Amino acid sequence: MYERALFALCLLTSVLFQSAASCDLRPVLAQVPKRLPAGYVISEGKKELTLEGCAVKPVAFTSSDPDFAVNTDGTIFTVHGLEITIKRFSVLVQDENGSEWRVDIVLSCKDEASQKSGSVAHKRAKRRWRPLPFNLFENDKPPFPKELEMIASDSSVNYTVYYKISGQGVDKDPVGLFILNKQTGMLSVTRAVDREQYPQFNFKAQVFDLSGRETDQYLPITVNVNDMNDNAPEFSGNRFFTVEERCRAGTVIGKLNATDKDEPKTLHTSIKFTLLNATDMFSIDAFTGVLTAKTNTLDREAQDKVFVEVEIRDMGGAPSGLFTKGTVVVNLTDVNDNPPTFKEKLYKAKVKENQENMVVTRIPVEDKDLINTPNWRALFEVTKGNESGNFRMETDPKTNEGLLYVIKGLDYEKTPLVKLEITARNDVPLVGVEPKWMSVPVELSVEDEDEGPEFNPGILYLKVKENVANGTVIGTYKAVDPEKKNSDGIKYYKITDPGNWINVVENTGELKVANTIDRESPLVHKDMYNITIRAVDESKKTGKGTVILQIEDVNDNIPVIPGTDLIMCSKGNTLSSVLVEAVDMDKAPYSSPFTFELGADNDGKWKLKDTTDTSVVLEPASAILNGVYSVPLIVKDLQGLGKEQIMNVRVCNCEREENGVGICGVRSASSSLGSLGILALVLSGLLLLLLSLLLIFICSTKRDKLYINDDTGTGGMLLKSNTEAPGEEVKDDALMIIPGGELVDGSVKSGLMESKNVTSAPGRYGQPLFQGGTGVYNTTTQEFGTEKYYSSGRYDNNMSGNLTMQKFSNTSALDTWKTNGRYLERKLAYFGEEEEGRYADDLLKTYGNEGMGSPAGSVGCCSIVGEQESMDFLNTLGPKFRPLADVCYTTNRTGN
């Protein structure tokens, strides 16, 4: 069979070559003058244009260059005058069959020097090149070289020439593929060629005379390599696809791609796709490669991956075509097409009565869908037998088993056997109409236990009026032993009774009132009050019950006005009013609507209006002044029960009103001053007058210079401190410091020293200052009116010396005051001395900050030593004298 196909191909090739040889269309080569006038004839009746030897007749000629035209007989002439050096164009010849033939025209200028004689110059030289392009078959078989085609030039008629080729395949890669016989012009190929590597070759041929001069224009040569089917198709792109199971038939799964290296758009590259297996599941388009589902029964649970063998064959799938086989993988994804199924047809279990919140049994299921997906996870439900809500179902997330819980205790005496039906579902709906959710029956055997007494009913409702007499029996609440079916031997006790309102008779279960039942108590919610009772049988088993008292109201509360202090805003000439509201803890018909009346002590200044069920508007009968008024008001409920209540109404100028309630503004002096206020103003005026007279008296007296020592740093002012210790404003420098004192255990030590080597030096504030070797004398003489006082003291690092005050004349009242000041100074100096009994408490101490308690100590032990004048008042100055002493002590302190 293969030999016959090869013979037919060779026969077709020979026929084609014979046709080409019999219809030999070569280019028209002509030499023309450089200047061509219009109408110049290029050629006349060339056989190339008349299709001589082609067995057809030309009917039309078309020039590709508008400067040239062709007559119906094939004569070429110029249309316009032009000048050329070389000119190339083509003529399209249409035959009587409608086929088109192309003839190349090449014009070149005449070269007189190239002609062999002068007579030849008047003769047009003829050229002849073989038709282009040439063809060869790829993968040709030896022997090589093989002759391919002959090239020739008409210039060989006039010259002895030789030929030469150059370019691709000759002296360029692939080098040496083509060779040329220089004398004959025969072109040969030296080896086989692969079209997929070199589909075409382009090089040029040249002709030379013996002198090496090129006698003609070079000829471009094109060699086309004819394709042979030497490459099998290959798969390209993805070959892994995914589709849902149970997808409908015709669903596109994916597209296969294939390539072929042979010449495109030929039978060599016409590929056909064929399935070699799984043809019952899939189908493929033979020429597009689109893979589709053939059925709607693809089942992931049966096969989650399908390996499909596909063949691709060129030559349109002909048996002679080349082929390749490959595998396509189709993954089937899961859908919920399988319901959970139970492993057993009936499940049985046991449970003890009264057990709660425990697992009774585990119910396993199977699901063929993909594990740990919503298609696989099971949801369980008790669809029958759970009308009382005793059970619930859960799912074990690891095993996918159903867990049956009992959440309310079962009663063996009532239901010794419980029949249930359990249904299993998935998280998502089922796909398809055939599968349905499945159910399984479950039987639970209830095991008997010795139970405690049971109250019947479990909750007892009793109606009782509030305020019923203590000891009243309001009902009986008994329990029954479920095994004996009676109440013998059962005793009763209270568990909860918030208000201790009820007593339970231990043996009978009677409920008696123990304390006043009050419906308005906060222990009552919506007229109901709860009590829990415990019943205990002879075996110490217990039961519990609840009693709910539904308390009926009685008229035991009167209407009251919550706020009796009311504010009425004064509005000038317009009458003001205020809203009075009342409440009653009782409910209808013992509460609203209320009746409002003014009391008997009403002075006629007030009236009521706009009465509602629970409120009334109070307003003055006529204009009244600002002030506080007492208004008696009687409020009664619907049954006429009530009493008189006093309203304190303040009439004032309101600063603002919030939610209808006035806020009084600040009262002016004119409105707030009474008789006591006026008296206070008069007394203040008299005090001011007396103070003025005192100032006039002081200013009229003789002014003497007063010695003030500013060593304390206070600036001549007494500073106020809120505690007995010095404040922040009284610094350490402002406190009295005993000159030369040393701190020993928080006290000041001082000693006596003698004077020697006394020198004189100017003192501060005009005082003469005498300084000795180990101490300083300070003397001061001051005049106060008609009196002179002299003081002297010696100070060193240990103690103050002596301080004497001498009286030179009689004193006036002012002088007496100054004399007392000197005694005070002496007293201060005395405080600096260390003696028994005054070591810690009577010495002045400096504190850096204020603190709790009084650091001032006591002045009770102070006394005047060596003086005849009575200064007892200094002993009663109190602890506040200490801060004052710190400021007023003015003795100068100097030393080495």
pLDDT tens per residue, range 813-854: 556 666 777 767 776 666 555 554 444 444 555 555 555 555
Highest mean pLDDT among 334-348, 664-678, 879-893: 334-348
**Whether 396 and 516 share a structural domain:** no
End-of-domain residue from the set 517, 552, 587: 552
End-of-domain residue from the set 636, 667, 698: 667
pLDDT at site 21: 40
pLDDT over 50 (residue 332):
yes
pLDDT tens per residue, range 334-362: 999 999 999 999 999 999 988 899 999 99
pLDDT over 50 (residue 809):
no
Mean pLDDT of 864-876: 54
pLDDT at site 433: 63
Place 132 in a pLDDT band, splitting at 50, 70 and 90: low
pLDDT over 50 (residue 370):
yes
Q: Which residues have a Cβ under 8 Å from the Cβ of 75 and sit 6 or more positions away?
A: 41, 43, 44, 45
In whole angstroms, give the CA distance from residue 102 to residue 896: 141
Does residue 99 lie within any of the structural domains? yes
Residue 833: helix, strand or coil by DSSP? coil
- Write the DSSP string, 571-582: BTTBPP-EEEE-
Place 124 in a pLDDT band, splitting at 50, 70 and 90: very low
Mean pLDDT of 90-117: 70
Does residue 688 lie within any of the structural domains? no
**Whether 310 and 374 share a structural domain:** no
Q: Which residues have a Cβ under 8 Å from the Cβ of 717 and sit 6 or more positions away?
A: none
Query: Which token pair is 215?
Result: 């006698």
φ, ψ for residue 714 (rounded to 5)?
A: -90, -10
**Whether 525 and 410 share a structural domain:** no
Alpha helices by DSSP H, 580-674: 669-672
pLDDT over 60 (residue 231):
yes
Q: Which residues have a Cβ under 8 Å from the Cβ of 624 and sit 6 or more positions away?
A: 605, 651
Yes or no: say if 145 and 189 are a contact pair by the CB < 8 Å rule: yes
Burial class of residue 527, CB neighbours in 10 A (0-12, 13-18, 19+): middle
Does residue 779 lie within any of the structural domains? yes
**Whether 520 and 573 share a structural domain:** no
Place 117 in a pLDDT band, splitting at 50, 70 and 90: very low
What percent of the chain has a predicted confidence (pLDDT) above 90?
A: 37
Residue 404: helix, strand or coil by DSSP? strand
Place 866 in a pLDDT band, splitting at 50, 70 and 90: very low
pLDDT at site 38: 74
List the Cα angle 401/407/410 in 5-degree steps.
110
Burial class of residue 269, CB neighbours in 10 A (0-12, 13-18, 19+): buried
In whole angstroms, give the CA distance from residue 432 to residue 565: 81
Full domain range(s) for residue 238:
234-333
Return the axis-axis angle of helices 813-831 and 881-888, rounded to nearest 10°.
100
**Whether 575 and 632 share a structural domain:** yes
pLDDT at site 813: 55
Yes or no: say if 271 and 234 are a contact pair by the CB < 8 Å rule: no
Q: Which residues have a Cβ under 8 Å from the Cβ of 316 and sit 6 or more positions away?
A: 267, 270, 272
Does residue 260 lie within any of the structural domains? yes
**Whether 186 and 98 share a structural domain:** no
Residue 443: helix, strand or coil by DSSP? strand
Question: What CATH number does residue 461 fall under?
Answer: 2.60.40.60
Mean pLDDT lowest among 10-24, 577-591, 768-782, 811-825: 768-782
pLDDT at site 600: 83
**Whether 488 and 607 share a structural domain:** no
Mean pLDDT lowest among 485-499, 601-615, 661-675, 711-725: 711-725
pLDDT tens per residue, range 486-519: 888 899 999 999 999 999 999 999 999 999 999 8
Is the overall model pTM greater than 0.75, yes or no?
no
In whole angstroms, give the CA distance from residue 819 to residue 625: 63
Highest mean pLDDT among 70-84, 114-128, 136-150, 821-835: 136-150
Residues belonging to the chain = 896
**CA dihedral (517, 519, 520, 523) positive or negative:** positive
Does residue 15 lie within any of the structural domains? no
Yes or no: say if 433 and 246 are a contact pair by the CB < 8 Å rule: no
Average pLDDT, rounded, for the chain:
77
pLDDT at site 599: 87
Q: Which residue has the higher pLDDT, 588 or 95?
A: 588
Mean pLDDT of 572-592: 85
Q: Which residue has the higher pLDDT, 298 or 115?
A: 298
**Whether 433 and 462 share a structural domain:** no
**Whether 63 and 188 share a structural domain:** no
Mean pLDDT of 614-632: 88
Does residue 721 lie within any of the structural domains? no
In whole angstroms, give the CA distance from residue 293 to residue 244: 10
- Count of domains forming the chain: 7
φ, ψ for residue 659 (rounded to 5)?
A: 55, 40
pLDDT at site 732: 42
Does residue 893 lie within any of the structural domains? no
**Whether 572 and 599 share a structural domain:** yes
End-of-domain residue from the set 491, 520, 552: 552
Residue 487: helix, strand or coil by DSSP? coil
**Whether 783 and 876 share a structural domain:** yes
**Whether 431 and 499 share a structural domain:** no
pLDDT at site 30: 81
pLDDT tens per residue, range 164-190: 999 999 999 999 999 999 998 899 999
pLDDT over 90 (residue 655):
no
One-letter amino acid for residue 658 of the chain: E
Does residue 777 lie within any of the structural domains? yes
Secondary structure of 280-293 in the HEC alphabet?
Answer: CCEEECCCCCEEEE
pLDDT tens per residue, range 375-432: 999 999 999 999 999 999 999 999 999 999 999 989 888 889 999 999 999 999 998 7
In whole angstroms, give the CA distance from residue 397 to residue 343: 18
